[in-house]
């Protein structure tokens, strides 16, 4: 398994952060790699999301966890691996603590982590957190 995790404090309340995650139309605002994102149903586990990348290509994700105002996680199926993102927000002081986590799990997670770029994934989660913080504040 491989994972990249980054957390940041923000003065924004959890609802402002959640609003950015709960609306796939807004995902490209905080994920610069995306051209667009849309759900194929309600915001609940089992629903598919389709993301289109700016560099071309698309990926189908399955929502695996939805806790309104707190947590959103989705995964893509790869051969013998799962590629996922988890987004969490918790009240903290006068704002929130937000966390982004990208991970690969399964028998072929190691080669996929090299293919996707471990450093790039670490940089991406830092960038996602920073951008969400900026937008929510």
Delimit the domains of the chain by residue range. 2-136
Contact 103, 86 (CB under 8 A): yes
The CATH code of domain 2-136 reads 3.30.530.20
pLDDT tens, position by position, 15-61: 999 999 999 999 999 999 999 999 999 999 999 999 999 999 999 99
- Which DSSP state fits 22? H
Average pLDDT over residues 111-124: 94
Q: Note the pLDDT tens digit of each residue in 94-117.
A: 999 999 999 999 999 999 999 999
User: Mean per-residue pLDDT for 85-90?
Assistant: 97
Q: What is the mean pLDDT of the chain?
A: 96
């Amino acid at each position: 398994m491989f994972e990249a995790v980054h957390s940041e404090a923000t003065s924004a309340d959890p609802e402002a952060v959640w609003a950015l995650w709960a609306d796939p139309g807004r995902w490209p605002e905080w994920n610069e790699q995306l051209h667009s994102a849309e759900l194929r149903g309600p915001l609940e586990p089992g629903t598919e999301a389709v993301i289109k990348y700016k560099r071309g290509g698309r990926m189908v994700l399955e929502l695996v966890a939805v806790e309104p105002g707190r947590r959103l996680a989705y995964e893509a199926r790869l051969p013998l691996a799962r590629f996922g993102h988890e987004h969490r927000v918790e009240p903290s002081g006068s704002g929130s603590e937000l966390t982004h986590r990208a991970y690969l799990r399964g028998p072929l997670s190691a080669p996929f982590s090299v293919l996707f770029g471990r450093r790039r994934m670490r940089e991406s989660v830092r960038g996602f957190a920073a951008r969400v913080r900026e937008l929510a504040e």
